[in-house]
Amino acid sequence: MTAAGPNIAIEVEGLTKFFGKKKVVDNLSMRVERGMIYGFLGPNGSGKTTTIRMLCGLLTPDAGRGTCLGYDILTQQHEIKRRVGYMTQKFSLYGDLTIRENLEFVARIYGLREPREAARAALERLGLLDRADQLASELSGGWKQRLALGACTLPDPALLLLDEPTAGVDPKARRDFWDEIHRLAESGLTVLVSTHYMDEAERCHRIAYIAAGRLLVSGTTAEIIAAARLATYIVTGPDLSELSERLSATPGVEMVALFGVALHVSSRDAARLDEIARDFSKDPAHVWAKGAPTLEDVFIDLMIQAGGAPQ
């Protein structure tokens, strides 16, 4: 067993998990350095939640090994739980306890010396002091997420596992949430966060893309875009949906995606795509401009490839 260095927060190799006969996570290996915000991307049901649960001891892997903060994920779950803050996808604090009572409960479970004081400090940090005695169930979606994050960070963990923390939260609350995550990372916390949002992915230091339980790529945003070797044209003009259908049917086009008023057309074969662009440019209604692929282009392309490839 290779001991993970002190600057490694998560290191797993060959993680595999079955639900019945279905392989949900397939031979997944990854490595996350300390102090990093690591984004976990992938479509629904790709195994993100299952992987996070295996990391914090909530699920037992069927194969593979790994460490979390230097503790073995198979045998030292208790040590991991004491040092990891896990924020579930669904709000899982007690709706019939007040905000203060929830925080004090968490503080006591983690054995903090002054649970009341710790909860009070957390309330202040969260800006919830004046609503401390409200029932948690009465909070709006955005505030619930903030409270959940506050509860996770209360016991001063070294690693945060956040499972789609901003799903269903408005853009302003989302931005505040991410500012907070960056503040936490700067103070030395490692954050593993799963998300569907590309703007969030771009705020991560590193990202990994998972589809059908397999980790397809990982790296910085720039690395991933470069590695995809995708040529992209951005098309503007009228009737883009109709054009999109025609392009999808054109051999050589690998991905067509509509972004508001623009159509992103991508292919790995740059020469072929130039040819297609020339052909379609004959129709003066549409303007074809060579563009840089975005992270989203790359991921949609990956998703299409993963979906098309035999499992």
Beta bridge partners of 15: 28
Does residue 95 belong to the site contacting other proteins (CB under 8 A)? yes
One character per residue 8-47, x = contact with other proteins (rule: CB under 8 A): ----------------------------------------
274, exposed or middle or buried, with CB in 10 Å at 0-12, 13-18, 19+? Answer: middle
Bridging pattern class, strands 37-41 and 206-211? parallel
- Nearest CA to 48 among 221, 207, 267? 207
Among 25, 37, 106, 253, binds other proteins (CB under 8 A): 106
By beta-carbon proximity to other proteins, the closer residue of 109 and 258 is 109
User: Which residues are within 8 A (CB) of 29 and not within 5 positions of it... i.e. 6 or more apart?
Assistant: 12, 13, 14, 15, 64, 215
- Within 46-85, the residues that bind other proteins by CB under 8 A are 53, 56-60, 78, 81-82, 84
Does residue 115 belong to the site contacting other proteins (CB under 8 A)? no
* Cα–Cα separations (whole angstroms), residue 102 to 113, 150, 269: 16, 10, 55
Please report, as a single letter, which amino acid is at residue 203.
R
By beta-carbon proximity to other proteins, the closer residue of 36 and 73 is 73
Among 7, 29, 75, 92, binds other proteins (CB under 8 A): 92
By beta-carbon proximity to other proteins, the closer residue of 57 and 293 is 57
By beta-carbon proximity to other proteins, the closer residue of 76 and 236 is 76
Binding site residues, other proteins, CB under 8 A: 53, 56-60, 78, 81-82, 84, 86, 88, 90-95, 106, 109-111
